[in-house]
Structures are given as C-alpha cells and as structure tokens.
C-alpha cells in the first residue's frame, strides 16, 4: 500500500501534470453525482493499516451478464428458460438481448430471482456454450468530500495550460462523451459547448437523443446533476467569455451519457450500453461522412466500484476499434487497505485495454492526494484533483460562488476531478506518455517520468506545453488500425 507522496521534485510529478495536458490537448488540437452534500462513493472507512477484509463488490440482485460462444448459440436461448445448478435444481431465467449485444456477439442480460443470482452464474459457467457469466456490478461516482482551500483553478498553471492555449484552445468539431450523471445543459458556462445531435433517433432503440441520452430511465431528457456538471466544466467550460471558469478546452462538444442516478449509483449493464451508444455514434459519423452521429474521440469515466467484468472489457475493446479513448478515474481508496490498485484493481480504470487511461489525483503541491488510489503499473497519469473549481447546478446547496444569472460554481475533490483534466481532446494523435513510480525508490516517495518513442523508454524533462506539442510529433501513437487519426505537425 502506497503512502502520500512526500515533496516530489518539480521535474518529476509536474511532468506528470504536463503530460496530462498533452494527453488532453492533442485530441482536439488539430481535429477540424454527487448530490448537494458532495458525498463520497460508498466505501469502507477503514483507516490506513486496518485489518478488515476488502468488501465484496455490490451487484444488481437478479441480473447476470452472460456471453455465449456465438450469436447463434445466444439466439437458441428462449426468453424464458431454466438453468440447472450443481444440486440439480432448476433456476428459472429470463434471457434478454440488449443494445450491447449489437457490439459484443453472444452477450445477453439474464434475469433470475435475486436470491438465485450467484447460483445462476455458477450454473451458466458450467454450460459448454457459455464463455463467461458474471454479476451486473454496481458502480459509484469517484468523489470525495470537498474541503475548499483555494479560490482559483490552480490546475491549469500546474499543467502549463496557458502555454498550450497559445497554440490551440480546442475545436467544436470534436465530441467528448461523459459517462456519468446528467450534465446541466443550460448552465451558461457550458451551454455553447453542449453537443447537439444532427439526426436524433439514428441509433436503433434510442429516441430523443438530442444532447445525449439517459440510460437510467431510457430517455433523451437529461436531468442536471452536480457530479457530471462539475466534470463537464473542467473538460469544456467556455473560455475567454468573461464568465465563471475556464475549461481546458475553450471550444468542444460535450455529450451527456447518463448511467449514474441522482445518488451517484449505476450498473455495469447501463455503463456498457453507454459505451455501445458512443461506438455506434462514432461509427455512424464515419460512415455518413460526418452528416450523422458524432465525432467522439474520448469518453470520460469518473466512477468505479464492483469487480472485473469481461463484458465491460469487451465493450471497451470495441470502443478501441472505433478510435475512442476511455479515460477513467483511478479510485479514492487512499488510506484504505485497497489503496494499491496494482494489488486491488479499481474498475473500470484497471481494465487492461490499449485505449484505457487511468488518472490518479494530485494536489496544489504536486503531491499524490491523500484520498487517491495509486498503482505503479496501473496508474497512467496524475492530474489535479484536490479543491478543483468548476461548474455545478443551480440546485446545489451551498455553492462556493454564484454568477449574476444564478449559475453556480463549486470546489470538489476526487479522482473524478483528475480524470477530466486528460479527457478533453486526447489527440490529433494521442501521445503515449506514461507516468510510473521509479522501481528503485520506496513506494510513494516520488514519481519518475517516461515516454515511449519508437517503442523505447527514455527520460523526458519537464518542458512547456508548446515544446511538448512539438515533441509529441515524434512519439508513438495508437496501433496501425487507428492510423486514421490526424498527425500533429
């Protein structure tokens, strides 16, 4: 288990933040939940060094994600069937084809009596035509209680955003999807950057998706909620408009993909549906020549919980095939027995897929945030996540300040707040910057920076964002099947 970083050097962790900015500003650069109480996601309150066992991940009682070896095998399953457990008892089961079945062949959502969930999973795993069966895990917003200390957006200076803005301030031709709660699409500091669908209803089974979609209640009506609204402001609050705060991208399009409810809870199956919709919209944008769908380049995922889900990993790999990055918060287990995400993986940030970027949180002193999870192998980048000022809804209790139109802004803390520092526009061509701990130093002592260039690891000194953009032209990007992404230069 790692401890809070102690006085990291400027050339170490600050490069982490600089790398994060690059990972952000390269996507758009050239491409023409919490309730008002700000409650943390549900987790053990065990102090560091505690001996309690790690809690079992929560799941939706009665739901099973099952993947058959072929679509034909899945189709042979009647809507109402029985599966047999190890004792020979028949377990009644309803097998449902859902939207993710269009992307992951053979995937189905099965329903059984709540008390039969684990027995049904074991029985399905024993069937020769089943690849896997697993719970429908419940996920939660990665947000910790807020204790404001600063009255400004210190994060932009930490990642050298002003130097990068001399080169580019974003592009309205790129869409970033927020798999989260609902964005306040009427917040005046966000409204000009909210995505509008040129052809709502283009995806089978989805209607009314003008600015995104709520998979919680299967509706195009997006309720304004604070967690997603705060994340959205970091990604793309309108800049240089003499109002409120500035997002990393002054210009971008934000798509609200709501799967977390008002309490900050959601299921794997709805998160997978959101991923599926994003892939379908991106594929439609490509096939229609940009007249339909959306040019989604990245998805921000500021949530976590539950256990490993092969179905979720399959959905993330499907996103990779469409050139969509999956940027995720690394978790808020700092000080708990499961802080080390190499030993206790945090999902979805812990999924091993080429398009996953996992963000830990740092503070205004460039130290690892006390609440942040961290893994030397599983954490990709660090970014500001403590006392982050951003947009919130008009209904939040006790905002930190309110503008003349009643729009609110508040300080939040969490790896949820770190993740959007990297989500905005992670290409023209995404850099393969990585941040890791020096294997020769004690855990938590300091970071070391590295970058992959032509497949080799080498040290890179901290530099301005402008020079970093020039440097990125020589860094390896994604695999060749994603070579359709523009190149910087």
268: Cβ contacts below 8 Å, ≥ 6 apart: 65, 135, 136, 137, 138, 139, 306, 309, 311, 312
Catalytic-labelled residue, pool 227, 230, 346, 421: 227
The structure tokens 């998805």 sit at: 299
**Sites in the chain below the pLDDT cut of 50:** 1-54, 143-151, 425-489
* Amino acid 258: pLDDT: 98
Whether omega for the bond prior to residue 348 falls within 30 degrees of 0, making it cis, is yes
* Amino acid 160: pLDDT: 76
Q: Does the annotation count 147 as an active-site position?
A: no
CB 149 within 8 A of CB 271: no
How is the chain split into domains, by residue range?
13-41+142-482, 59-137
List, for residues 101-141, the tens digit of each pLDDT value: 999 999 999 999 999 999 999 999 999 999 999 999 988 77
Q: What is the CA radius of gyration of the chain?
A: 22
d(CA 489, CA 468): 12
List, for residues 192-225, the tens digit of each pLDDT value: 999 999 999 999 999 999 999 999 999 999 999 9
d(CA 429, CA 427): 4
For residue 233, give Cα distances in angstroms to 184, 420, 460.
Answer: 10, 9, 30
* Amino acid 262: pLDDT: 93
| pTM for the full predicted model | 0.72
The CATH homologous superfamily to which domain 13-41+142-482 belongs is Peptidase S8/S53 domain (3.40.50.200)
What's the burial of 121, exposed, middle or buried (CB within 10 Å: 0-12/13-18/19+)? buried
Catalytic-labelled residue, pool 63, 116, 142, 180: 180
Specify whether the backbone of 47 is left (phi greater than 0), alpha (psi in -120 to 50) or beta: beta
d(CA 370, CA 361): 9
Q: Does the annotation count 209 as an active-site position?
A: no
* Amino acid 156: pLDDT: 83
Closest CA to 98 of 108, 89, 106, 90: 108
Q: Does the annotation count 111 as an active-site position?
A: no
408-412 sheet: strands from edge to edge = 388-392, 408-412, 401-402
* Amino acid 166: pLDDT: 75
Tally of CA atoms within 13 A in the half-sphere of 314 that contains its CB? 21
Catalytic-labelled residue, pool 329, 416, 419, 423: 416
**β-pair partners for 303:** 141
Please, what is the end-to-end C-alpha distance for the chain in angstroms?
42
For residue 222, give Cα distances in angstroms to 43, 183, 260, 293.
Answer: 27, 7, 12, 18
d(CA 230, CA 237): 9
Structure token digits, residue 469? 């953009």
* Amino acid 423: pLDDT: 64
């Amino acid at each position: 288990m790692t401890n809070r970083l102690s006085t990291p050097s400027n050339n170490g962790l600050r490069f982490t933040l600089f790398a994060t900015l690059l990972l952000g500003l390269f996507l758009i650069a050239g491409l023409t939940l919490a309730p008002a109480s700000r409650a943390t996601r549900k987790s053990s309150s065990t102090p560091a060094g505690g001996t309690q066992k790690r809690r079992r991940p929560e799941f939706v009682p009665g739901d099973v994600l099952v993947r058959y070896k072929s679509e034909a095998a899945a189709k042979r399953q009647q809507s109402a069937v029985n599966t047999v457990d190890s004792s020979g008892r028949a377990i009644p089961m309803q097998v449902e084809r859902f939207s993710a079945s269009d992307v992951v062949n053979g995937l189905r959502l099965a329903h059984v009596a709540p008390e039969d969930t684990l027995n049904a999973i074991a029985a399905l795993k024993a069937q020769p035509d089943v690849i896997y069966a697993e719970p429908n895990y419940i996920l939660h917003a990665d947000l910790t209680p807020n204790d404001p200390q600063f009255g400004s957006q210190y994060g932009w200076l930490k990642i050298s955003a002003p130097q990068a803005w001399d080169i580019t301030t974003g592009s309205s031709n790129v869409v970033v999807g927020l798999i989260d709660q609902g964005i306040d699409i009427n917040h005046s500091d966000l409204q000009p950057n909210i995505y509008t669908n040129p052809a709502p209803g283009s995806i089978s089974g989805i209607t009314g998706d003008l600015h995104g979609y709520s998979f919680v209640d299967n509706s195009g009506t997006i309720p304004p909620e604070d967690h997603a609204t705060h994340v959205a402001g970091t990604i793309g609050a309108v800049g240089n408009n003499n109002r409120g705060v500035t997002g990393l991208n002054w210009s971008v399009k934000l798509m609200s993909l709501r799967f977390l409810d008002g309490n900050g809870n959601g299921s794997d199956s709805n998160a997978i549906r959101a991923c599926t919709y994003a892939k379908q919209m991106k594929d439609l944008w490509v096939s229609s020549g940009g007249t339909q769908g959306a040019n989604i380049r990245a998805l921000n995922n500021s949530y976590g919980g539950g256990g490993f889900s092969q179905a979720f990993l399959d959905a993330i790999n499907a996103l990779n095939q469409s050139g969509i990055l999956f940027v995720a918060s690394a978790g808020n287990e700092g000080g708990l027995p499961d802080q080390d995400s190499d030993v206790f993986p945090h999902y979805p940030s812990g999924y091993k897929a080429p398009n996953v970027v996992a963000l830990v949180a740092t503070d205004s002193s460039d130290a690892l945030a006390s609440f942040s999870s961290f893994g030397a192998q599983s954490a990709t980048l660090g970014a500001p996540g403590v006392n982050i000022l951003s947009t919130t809804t008009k209904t939040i209790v006790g905002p930190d300040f309110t503008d003349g139109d009643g729009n609110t802004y508040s300080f939040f803390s969490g790896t949820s707040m770190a993740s959007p520092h990297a989500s905005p526009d992670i290409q023209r061509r995404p850099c393969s910057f990585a941040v890791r701990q020096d294997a020769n130093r004690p855990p938590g002592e300091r970071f070391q920076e590295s970058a992959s260039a032509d497949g080799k690891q080498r040290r890179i000194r901290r530099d301005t964002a402008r020079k970093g953009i020039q440097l990125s032209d020589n860094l390896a990007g994604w695999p060749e099947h994603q070579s359709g992404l523009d190149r910087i230069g």
